[in-house]
Structure 1
Amino acid sequence: MTFNELHKNSYPLILCNVWDANSARIAEKLGFQAIGTSSAAIACMLGYEDGEKMQFKELCYVIQRIAYNTSLPLSVDMEAGYSRIPTEIVNNIKELATYGIAGINLEDSIVNEERILVDGKSFANIIHEVKSRLNEANLNIFLNIRTDTYLLNVPNKLDETQKRIELYTKAGADGIFIPCLVHESDIKFLVDKSRLPINVMAMPDLPGFEKLKELGVKRISMGDCLFSNISTILKHKLGKVMGNQSFDDIFSADSKS
């Protein structure tokens, strides 16, 4: 089944977000159907803040190592594309395509001093040009377009999200990703208004997978939540080592939990 087809099943695609070769191998061993990267997790692993602070060549190296170590379809979080110029974004995608990626995420916000939402029509124009150039190059890359209306809690976010879904659909998006969308009524409304598969992300108040299936969600991802949780466990374990002046906690029964 192709990556595109995985978004058309009755049950949502559960995407495991990875950050290195080891996490990708574990996801494949546990039976995930596809993996995606987390830009925030990879950036943190390399010592950067999120928001295109690492160099694109550094991202490419990590993607190359992940792709080499798994046979699962791989979607790459490209943030805003590592450029504001469509031709340069396409060139970046083409470089990633040499590693056999199946999809990318592009988001409609950028980070300077803080994260801001860009103009929807301008971003739709970028999507259109990117999609057209990929089609010209016969590159079948799933364009999962992320809108940060809920992440940034913009005014009238439900209406603004609907407008952006319409703009991005017409521009050539293959899927719509709405991080921080958790309320059932909003999810149902946006799923019903969209012709494209809707992707939601792990959040404390996100409904369970069965409920999301009922609401019509087609893709569920993790963002950097898994990486952050593992980092918290690491901090806790290392704190125990230093506090107890012993390695006992590393080998304790809960170390594998």
Structure 2
Amino acid sequence: MAVSISEVATKAKTFKSLHVPGTPLVLANVYDATSARIVASLPECKALATASFALAKSIDKTDQTLTLDENISLSKPVAAVAHEFGLPLTVDIQDGYAKSGDFQTLHEVVKRLIVEVGAAGVNLEDSWHESTSGDMIDEEESIERIKAVLKAANDLGVPDFVVNARSDSFLMGGTLEESIRRGKKYLDAGATTVFIIWARAEPIVEKDAQRAIDELGGRVNLSRRLGKPGPTTVELAKMGVARISVGPQLYFAAAQALRDTAADVFGTSK
């Protein structure tokens, strides 16, 4: 699939414009061509997004061991569907696949995403993806990494490249205040939105979510927890978020449906 830089630039501009506090961009994260085509066919779909965790699971790997080459290879079928439907695509690149201080590698990663995949944006984390204990990236380096990604995209001719900057302090056992404080700096560095994730076992408390939304001017990405307590898509929109996503939840839903159907084939209980 050949995508021109000018086409990527146009899609990035469109993609960025979809991030409106109170009228959020809703992303049902996909992980292969089939899931991408199903989601893209829905009239409400305005863009496609990958989830690295789901990409990794699709080849029986963990999120921590998914390599850049594997991420790009698995994203290409999704990109082909996005191109066919004329939709922007954002790719989950975890921590950017660059070691501490290696901004040259980060530049090359962005170049590959734009040239090979046609990505209009990325999800960039501020915790090290290979860590199993949730090690955070130094705050100042996280800021410089956002700037490096945006500079690399701008140098290629994609000035509206979208960075959804994950602020993982709260997820990793720290405070929400820390994630908000980091998030403000990420927005100042040029990120379009800040992605704050609640700890997996913790419910999303609306007053805390509202505080994050208010303090970050609505430029927030929050996750919708499907089938669990927490704000709905409509409620999150009313709260003023600019972006809503679901991470690997579509993958888990599809896997459960497959298991249930297979159990029915074997005549066993679900």
TM-score, with length taken from structure 2: 0.83
CA contact (8 A) 1:144 1:175 kept: yes
Distance of 1:136 and 1:244 partners within structure 2:
57
Q: 2:108 aligned to 76, 84, 91, which one?
A: 91
Distance of 2:135 and 2:265 partners within structure 1:
41
Identity of aligned residues (%): 30
| The structure with more radius of gyration | 1
Per-residue CA deviations over 1:15-43 (Å, capped at 9, x if unaligned) read 11000111111111112111110101000
Cα displacement (A) at 1:125: 2.0
Q: 2:206 aligned to 184, 209, 216, which one?
A: 184
What is the correspondence of 1:129-168 to structure 2 with a 5 Å cutoff?
129-139=148-158, 140-154=160-174, 157-168=175-186
> Would you say 1:123 and 2:138 are equivalent positions?
no
Distance of 1:195 and 1:93 partners within structure 2:
27
CA contact (8 A) 1:102 1:142 kept: yes
Per-residue CA deviations over 1:126-165 (Å, capped at 9, x if unaligned) read 22233233323322320110112232231xx121012101
Distance of 1:180 and 1:68 partners within structure 2:
32
Distance of 1:82 and 1:123 partners within structure 2:
13
Distance of 1:46 and 1:113 partners within structure 2:
19
Q: 2:51 aligned to 38, 45, 48, which one?
A: 38
Aligned to 1:66: 78
Distance of 1:10 and 1:192 partners within structure 2:
11
CA contact (8 A) 2:110 2:152 kept: no
SS for the counterpart of 1:116 is coil
Q: 1:8 aligned to 20, 30, 41, which one?
A: 20
Aligned to 2:257: 233
Distance of 2:173 and 2:152 partners within structure 1:
32
RMSD of aligned C-alpha atoms? Answer: 2.1
Cα displacement (A) at 1:195: 4.1
Structure 2: which 5+ runs fail to align?
A: 1-12
Pair 1:21–1:232, CA change in 2 (3 A): same
Cα displacement (A) at 1:234: 1.5
Q: 1:57 aligned to 59, 69, 73, which one?
A: 69
Per-residue CA deviations over 1:163-211 (Å, capped at 9, x if unaligned) read 1012212222121111228221112211111146210012223301222
Task: Name the structure with the higher strand share.
Answer: 1
Distance of 1:237 and 1:114 partners within structure 2:
36
Structure 1: which 5+ runs fail to align?
A: 250-257
CA contact (8 A) 2:21 2:219 kept: no
SS for the counterpart of 2:23 is coil
Count of residues paired in the alignment: 243
Aligned to 2:122: 104
Aligned to 1:253: none
Cα displacement (A) at 1:117: 2.2
CA contact (8 A) 1:147 1:177 kept: yes
Distance of 1:218 and 1:36 partners within structure 2:
15
Aligned to 1:217: 241
Q: Does 130-139 or 171-180 show the bigger shift? A: 130-139
Aligned to 1:170: 188
Runs of 4+ in 1 over 6 A off after TM superposition: none
Aligned to 1:81: 96
For residue 146 of structure 1, what is the amino acid of its counterpart?
R
CA contact (8 A) 1:169 1:196 kept: no
